[in-house]
Each structure stands twice: as C-alpha cells, then as structure tokens.
Amino acid sequence: MDQKEWPLWEVFIRAKQGLNHKHVGSLHAADINMAIENARDVYTRRMEGVSIWVVESKHIHANDPHEQSALFEPANDKVYRHPTFYVLPEEVNHM
C-alpha cells in the first residue's frame, strides 16, 4: 500500500475512420505507451477501434455539476435557434 499507484488514464476510441473519438472508460498505466497498449487490450478486443487516445485523468477539467443550470439554462429559451421556429408556407417543402 505504501507503493505509489499507477496514474489513471481516460481512454477515447475512434470506432472507424471518419467518426470522432469517443470516451470508453479508464485504466491505470505507468506511462503513455503502457496506457495505449493496455487500452488496446482492455477496450478493443473485438475490433472496436482504429485509433486510440489516452489522456491522464488529472488533465481533464469539467464544469461543476451543481452549477448545471447556470451554465445550460440560458440555451433553454432560445427556440429561435431551431429551424422549426420559422413558419413557412406548405409549398416551400424541405427547406
């Protein structure tokens, strides 16, 4: 227990060319190479990916979930940002 624990890494996988990398989970590894190799073994045993990103978890910064409303509520009442807000005549199909 007195031994130092390997740092935690977040793993992101690109499922196939053309898609974005998506967070799949985390793992422990001593360094970058080990993190990538472990990510391959833990998260891509069945061809789930063509590319792996690893980021040490301590470098991920997030908003405070308790301030969720202050951050996201302002977008709630802006329906005019959506195409359906605008009323067009029937004849103008598919705009």
Partner 1 sequence: MEVKLEQLFQDKVDQEIKIEPRDWMPEKYRKTLLRQISQHAHSEIVGMLPEGNWITRAPNLRRKVALLAKVQDEAGHGLYLYSAAETLGMSRDEMFQELHTGKAKYSSIFNYPTLTWADMGAIGWLVDGAAIMNQVPLCRTSYGPYARAMVRVCKEESFHQRQGYEIMLTLANGSPEQKAMAQDALNRWWWPSIMMFGPTDDNSPNSAQSMQWKIKRFSNDELRQKFIDATVAQANILGLSIPDKDLKWNESTGHYDFGTIDWEEFHQVVAGNGPCNKQRLKARVDAWENGAWVREAAMAFQEKEQARQTKTEAA
What token pair was written down for 61? 């910064």
**Does 31 help bind partner 1 (rule: CB under 8 A)?**
yes
**Does 82 help bind partner 1 (rule: CB under 8 A)?**
no
Amino acid at 49: G
**Does 47 help bind partner 1 (rule: CB under 8 A)?**
no
- Alpha-carbon distance of 6 to 94, in angstroms, equals 55
**Does 72 help bind partner 1 (rule: CB under 8 A)?**
no
Sheet holding 21-28, edge to edge: 21-28, 8-14, 51-56
**Does 37 help bind partner 1 (rule: CB under 8 A)?**
no
Name the segment binding partner 1 (CB under 8 A); options: 13-21, 60-68, 69-77, 78-86. Answer: 60-68
69 three-state secondary structure: helix
Q: How far is the CB of 83 from partner 1 (least distance, A)?
A: 28
Quickly tell me which residue has 């935690």 as its tokens. Answer: 8
Binding site for partner 1 (CB under 8 A): 1, 3-6, 8, 24-28, 30-31, 34, 41-43, 45-46, 62, 64-66
